[in-house]
Amino acid sequence: TVSVLYWISLRFAFTQSPMARIVRAHILLAALAVAATCAAAQSLDAIVASKEAALSRLADQARATHARRCSALTGCNSLNADCSVHACGNHFPGSRGFNCTRGFGEDPSMCGSSCGGLVRSLNASVLRFPTGVDTSDGDLQAFACSSKGMQATFEAELRSGAITAWEYVGHSSGSIRIYPGAAQARNGRSSCGDYDARLRPWYIAASSGPKDVVLVVDVSGSMGASDGTGGTRMSSTRNAVIAILRSLTQNDRVSVVLFNHDARELRSQTRLQRATPATVDAYVAAMSTVYADGGTSFLTGFRRAFTLLEASQGEGANCNTAVLFLTDGVTGDALTTIQSEISASQARLNNRAVIFTYSMGSGADTAKPQAIACANDGMWDSIASGVDPLTRMRGYFQYIAAGVNSSVARWTSVYEDAFGLGQMVTAALPVYDSLGGVRTLVGVVGTDVTMAELERF
């Protein structure tokens, strides 16, 4: 067990900042004294190399299926096409291999006394979509159809023994295809919780490097208006902010600025904070107390954001810097004034901030947020009432994927499998489309390795 944890720490060290690597290296040198024998370490290295080779084959197949997505989409529309199985559906046909088995997790409460296992299929994979995603979106439909082409590779890796746990490909929309097919029966919406692949540790580890993120959130009185789903714009925005906070890693730094006619840092911080689990939890708790009130001044929000960025220079990895600006209002601040102040602030930064802007609801200003994003290398989007803001932030997720070395597998920390296989780690690789010479993140492939398998070495 010690040697396995040592190896996991070593792998994880290569995703950290230089200083973190140095500190962790000293710790690992001490741990090496109590590590397993050289023979055992070599065996562990061999099994890890085998997992990473299998992962590379999955990534190659994912790129190939993505390249064929247009023809796959045409094939999906034919009357003879096999439909994909929805992981949260209510129909898991035996003809597709779904039956109760102990091979991939056990839970007697699910299948009844006749079987202590769970409904699984070695002949089919399943699809799962985030709550609120637009299933009519062309990219998502193309992923659903083309990723069926992963099935033969999924099965081959399992048969060969190279992979013995879950295999999957997550899409930039947050959707995911998982093998073996794992049924999650749904009896009402609440029994099958939301799942967004982009927010999972394995996806984040593979698709992003160290970054500074400042969320600038409109909390003016109009944010208390209905969002069309029974909640308010403030509540839906709060959920999106919390989701983004939860997507950050300890390599990142973060701040949240609230603005109406004035602006303040959510936790009264004067610098960006390292996104440790404790820090993220503190921001999430503070967001739950935010309420809508006051007027709208874009200028105050941007001033506060850049003050924080300037004060934090030299403290982080000096990599990617992103500002996410969410508003539902109209400001009286002149666009020329806003642009002038932002330009002056950008000039004082070592690394320019990329600004993503989002106009929420039908009454929101669109012209100014769009102009601000375009002038600062970012993207603008309009978020209609009733639409989950997170589903409209694909540009941000594409941005944080920039500069990642797609040839290096990223390994997560140990966690408990939600599907019943116990403690495990995940290896993941990003998948890119390089059409026209521009590399765009398509998604991430992953495979799980149980601690039980690793501990045999």
Whether residue 183 has pLDDT greater than 70: yes
Can you tell me the distance from the alpha carbon of 259 to that of 302, in angstroms, rounded to the nearest whole number?
9
- What integer pLDDT is reported at residue 439 of this predicted model? 75
447 vs 249: which has the higher pLDDT = 447
Helix axes 367-375, 335-347, angle to 10 degrees: 20
Q: Nearest-5° angle of CA 449, CA 450, CA 455?
A: 110
- What integer pLDDT is reported at residue 27 of this predicted model? 39
Q: Nearest-5° angle of CA 66, CA 67, CA 71?
A: 95
- What integer pLDDT is reported at residue 451 of this predicted model? 87
Whether residue 426 has pLDDT greater than 80: yes
Whether residue 374 has pLDDT greater than 60: yes
- What integer pLDDT is reported at residue 167 of this predicted model? 95
Q: What torsion, rounded to 10 degrees, do the Cα atoms 277, 281, 284, 286 define?
A: -140
Can you tell me the distance from the alpha carbon of 362 to that of 385, in angstroms, rounded to the nearest whole number?
7
User: Which residue type is seen at 142?
Assistant: A
With cut-offs at 50, 70 and 90, classify the pLDDT of residue 185. low
Q: Facing residues of 258 across strands? A: 217, 264
- What integer pLDDT is reported at residue 255 of this predicted model? 97
The values of phi and psi at residue 97, to 5°, are 90, 5
User: Which residue type is seen at 186?
Assistant: R
- What integer pLDDT is reported at residue 137 of this predicted model? 84
Give the β-pairing of 176-179 and 99-101.
Answer: unpaired
Average pLDDT over residues 218-245: 85
When mean pLDDT is compared across 22-36, 350-364, 424-438, the lowest value belongs to: 22-36
When mean pLDDT is compared across 21-25, 416-420, 422-426, the lowest value belongs to: 21-25
User: Which residue type is seen at 303?
Assistant: R
DSSP string, 14-30: TTS-HHHHHHHHHHHHH
With cut-offs at 50, 70 and 90, classify the pLDDT of residue 24. very low
- What integer pLDDT is reported at residue 17 of this predicted model? 46
Q: Nearest-5° angle of CA 299, CA 301, CA 307?
A: 100
Residue (of 376, 312, 377) closest to 350 by Cα position: 312
Average pLDDT over residues 194-213: 82
Q: Facing residues of 416 across strands? A: 423
Q: Please compute, for residue 202, the number of CA atoms within 13 A of its CA located in the half-sphere on the CB side.
A: 28
The values of phi and psi at residue 159, to 5°, are -60, -35
With cut-offs at 50, 70 and 90, classify the pLDDT of residue 18. very low
Residues contacting 167, CB < 8 A, separation 6+? 58, 154, 157, 158, 178, 179, 445, 446, 447, 448
- What integer pLDDT is reported at residue 19 of this predicted model? 41
- What integer pLDDT is reported at residue 367 of this predicted model? 93
- What integer pLDDT is reported at residue 29 of this predicted model? 45
Whether residue 11 has pLDDT greater than 60: no
Percentage with pLDDT > 70 across the chain: 82
Between the two ends of the chain, the Cα-to-Cα distance in Å is: 9
Q: Coil, helix or strand for 149? A: helix
pLDDT tens-digit series, residues 249-303: 777 899 999 999 999 999 999 999 999 889 999 999 999 999 999 999 999 999 9
Average pLDDT over residues 71-91: 74
Residue (of 357, 349, 298, 352) closest to 324 by Cα position: 357
54 vs 110: which has the higher pLDDT = 54
Average pLDDT over residues 385-398: 74
Q: Is 268 left (phi over 0), alpha (psi -120 to 50) or beta?
A: left
Whether residue 114 has pLDDT greater than 70: no
Average pLDDT, the chain: 82
- What integer pLDDT is reported at residue 112 of this predicted model? 58
Average pLDDT over residues 27-51: 60
When mean pLDDT is compared across 279-293, 303-317, 401-415, the lowest value belongs to: 401-415
Q: What distance lies between CA 262 and its chain's CA centroid?
A: 32
